[in-house]
């Protein structure tokens, strides 16, 4: 599904916003809603949002947490739940959770009754700075990530940074990778802020204003790119920086060995190495060191396990949605704050893969 004109989803980032979601929906003309969330978010935040929805008639659907559940089978289960709830075309669907919930619920909203009103309530750093913006929804197949999906921007994105206070450190780390990606693409100043924020890498030691600034600046970069190129016909392709190899690594690990953020972090390292070897980024090795230091601060992997076979990863690369006439497309930085799309040979990627594939658990970078 694709709309002729893009919609710039209204983005509100404010502490205490969960308490006002019901008022916002009533102001939009709704008296009922269906909330899709996962078990983890439901445990931590369901009572707060239930109270915030106040007088609205509300139904909740709780799905298992994790990328491995972002499947067509789960979509079918959600369709069945909506059928049982007698959901009508004007019933809004609220995605309350991280990137997996947003992608899954967004795809269901786009396709059930040919489109339900859809709202994002992101609860993770990844979702707040990246995945809830831009209208991409979808699910994975065994053959690859996000191969089935729809363009379906949320009518609004309502983010309450309080939810980040209960976020596990590993999920914080994964969100930091997307923020680093945004900084490398468009903001040297943001990269410096992320480095300061990561020493020490302890969000609990940071003020709410610091966290909100980090989220706001990172999200702004993505939103501005999406607004200029909503259908990914040009500049928006740059947002795939680190994701080409990252998605292939996720698939090669059956979506269990690496989280999305961990895999994208490795993808960023690979892209920086490719840029350095091609000579398109003169400061590649210095920038590589800065990114490695950030990943290390958050205990994110900087090496690919020796158990990963290149043939399996290469098969995932060949199914990448963004390849062109069989050629791999990689986003490579040309300077800090700027990047371009390059066609690369599989042999080039294989070489970088080998450089990153040192003994598992070793701190050496190759």
Q: Tell me if domain 10-163 and domain 169-356 are identical in fold.
A: no
- Cα dihedral across residues 233, 234, 236, 242: positive or negative: positive
Q: What pLDDT sits at residue 322?
A: 63
DSSP 3-state assignment of 241? coil
Give the CA distances from residue 229 to residues 152, 247, 283, in Å, rounded to whole numbers and listed in that order.
Answer: 15, 22, 28
Q: Residues, the chain, total?
A: 366
Q: What percent of the chain has pLDDT over 70?
A: 94
Q: What pLDDT sits at residue 264?
A: 97
What would the mean pLDDT of 51-57 be, rounded to a whole number?
Answer: 93
What would the mean pLDDT of 57-73 be, rounded to a whole number?
Answer: 96
Q: Compute the distance between CA of residue 343 and CA of residue 351 in angstroms, rounded to an integer.
A: 15
What would the mean pLDDT of 4-26 be, rounded to a whole number?
Answer: 86
- Residue 344: φ, ψ to 5°: -130, 155
Contact in structure between 266 and 356 (CB atoms under 8 Å): yes
Contact in structure between 277 and 288 (CB atoms under 8 Å): no
Cα distance between the two ends of the chain: 44
**List of residues 6+ apart from 300 with CB closer than 8 A:** 173, 174, 177, 261, 262, 265
Q: Compute the distance between CA of residue 158 and CA of residue 334 in angstroms, rounded to an integer.
A: 34
Q: Compute the distance between CA of residue 249 and CA of residue 266 in angstroms, rounded to an integer.
A: 9
CATH code matching the domain that covers 169-356, chosen among 3.30.70.1560, 1.20.1090.10, 3.30.70.580, 3.10.105.10: 1.20.1090.10
CATH code matching the domain that covers 10-163, chosen among 3.40.47.10, 1.10.600.10, 3.40.50.1970, 3.40.30.10: 3.40.50.1970
Q: What is the DSSP string of 72-129?
A: HHHHHHHHHHHHHTT--TT--EEEEESHHHHHHHHHHHHHGGG---EEEEE-SHHIII
Nearest CA to 154 out of 124, 128, 182 is that of: 128
Give CA torsion, residues 94, 107, 179, 175, to 10 deg: 70
pLDDT at 325 over 70: no
**Category of 327 on φ-ψ map: left (φ > 0), alpha (ψ -120 to 50) or beta:** beta
> What DSSP element (H or E) covers 339?
strand 338-344
User: What residue spans define the domains of the chain?
Assistant: 10-163, 169-356
Q: What pLDDT sits at residue 331?
A: 97
pLDDT at 6 over 70: no
The two structure tokens encoding residue 71:
């499947």
pTM over 0.75: yes
pLDDT tens digits for 223-239?
999 999 999 989 999 99
The two structure tokens encoding residue 116:
């339900």
Q: Indicate the pairing of strand 57-63 with strand 338-344.
A: unpaired
Q: What pLDDT sits at residue 143?
A: 84
**List of residues 6+ apart from 317 with CB closer than 8 A:** 244, 245, 248, 323, 328, 346, 349
């Amino acid at each position: 599904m694709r709309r002729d004109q893009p919609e710039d989803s209204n983005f509100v980032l404010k502490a205490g916003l969960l308490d006002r979601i019901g008022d916002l929906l009533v102001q939009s003309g709704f008296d009922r809603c269906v909330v899709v969330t996962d078990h983890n978010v439901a445990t931590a935040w369901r009572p707060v949002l239930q109270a915030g929805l106040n007088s609205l008639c509300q139904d909740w659907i709780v799905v298992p947490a994790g990328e491995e559940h972002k499947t067509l089978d789960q979509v079918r289960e959600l369709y069945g739940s909506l059928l049982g709830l007698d959901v009508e075309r004007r019933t809004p669907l609220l995605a309350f959770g991280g990137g997996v919930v947003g992608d899954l619920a967004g795809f269901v909203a786009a396709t059930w009754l040919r489109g339900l009103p859809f709202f994002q309530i992101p609860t993770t750093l990844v979702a707040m700075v990246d995945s809830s913006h831009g209208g991409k929804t979808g699910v994975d197949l065994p053959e690859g990530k996000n191969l089935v999906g729809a363009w379906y921007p949320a009518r609004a994105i309502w983010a309450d940074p309080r939810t980040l206070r209960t976020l596990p450190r590993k999920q914080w780390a994964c969100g930091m990778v997307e923020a680093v990606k945004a900084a490398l693409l468009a903001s040297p100043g943001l990269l410096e802020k992320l480095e300061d924020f990561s020493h020490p890498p302890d969000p609990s030691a940071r003020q709410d204003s610091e966290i909100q600034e980090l989220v706001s600046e990172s999200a702004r970069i993505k939103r501005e790119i999406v607004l200029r190129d909503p259908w990914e016909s040009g500049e928006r392709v740059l947002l795939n920086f680190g994701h080409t190899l990252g998605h292939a690594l996720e698939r090669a690990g059956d979506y269990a060995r690496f989280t999305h953020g961990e895999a994208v972090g490795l993808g960023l390292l690979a892209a920086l190495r490719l840029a350095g070897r091609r000579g398109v980024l003169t400061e590649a090795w210095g920038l590589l060191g800065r990114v490695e230091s950030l990943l290390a601060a958050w205990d994110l992997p900087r090496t690919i396990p020796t158990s990963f076979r290149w043939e399996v990863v290469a098969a995932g690369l060949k199914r990448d949605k963004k390849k062109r006439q069989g050629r791999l497309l990689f986003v490579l930085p040309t300077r800090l704050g700027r990047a371009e799309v390059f066609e690369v040979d599989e042999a080039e990627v294989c070489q970088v893969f080998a450089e990153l594939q040192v003994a598992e658990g070793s701190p050496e970078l190759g």
